[in-house]
Amino acid sequence: MDVSVDTVIRNASLADGQRSVDVAIAAGRITALGPALPLRGAQEIDAQGDLLSAPFVDAHFHMDATLSYGLPRVNASGTLLEGIALWAELKPQLTQQALVDRALQYCDWAVARGLLAIRSHVDVCDDRLLAVEALLEVQRQVAPYLDLQLVAFPQDGVLRSPTALANLRRALDMGVDVVGGIPHFERTMADGAASVRLLCELAAERGLMVDMHCDESDDPLSRHIETLAYETQRLGLQGRVAGSHLTSMHSMDNYYVSKLLPLIREAGVAAIANPLINITLQGRHDSYPKRRGMTRVPELLAAGIEVAFGHDCVQDPWYSLGSGDMLEVAHMGLHVAQMTGQDAMRACYQAVTSNPARILGLQGYGVAVGNYADLVLLDAPDPVAAIRLRAARRLVMRRGKVLAEAPRAVSRLHIDGRPAQVDFRLQR
Q: pLDDT value at position 414?
A: 72
Average the pLDDT over each of 84-88, 263-267, 335-339, 359-363 and give the range with the smallest value.
84-88
Nearest to 330 by CA among 388, 244, 409: 388
Q: pLDDT value at position 178?
A: 98
What is the overall mean pLDDT for the chain? 95
Q: pLDDT value at position 46?
A: 97
Per-residue pLDDT, averaged over 274-292, amounts to 94
Choosing from 186, 216, 226, 306, the catalytic residue is 216
d(CA 390, CA 380): 9
Whether 216 is catalytic is yes
Neighbours of 411 (CB within 10 A): 9
Per-residue pLDDT, averaged over 19-47, amounts to 96
Q: pLDDT value at position 410?
A: 72
Instruction: Answer yes or no: is pLDDT of 427 > 60.
Output: no
Per-residue pLDDT, averaged over 320-334, amounts to 97
What are 302-313's pLDDT values in tens digits?
Answer: 999 999 999 999
What are 200-234's pLDDT values in tens digits?
Answer: 999 999 999 999 999 999 999 999 999 999 999 99
Q: How confident is the model at residue 326 (pLDDT cuts 50, 70, 90)?
A: very high
d(CA 81, CA 394): 39
Neighbours of 83 (CB within 10 A): 20
d(CA 134, CA 122): 10
What are 368-382's pLDDT values in tens digits?
Answer: 999 999 999 999 999
d(CA 102, CA 105): 5
Please indicate whether residue 413 or residue 49 has the higher confidence score (pLDDT).
49
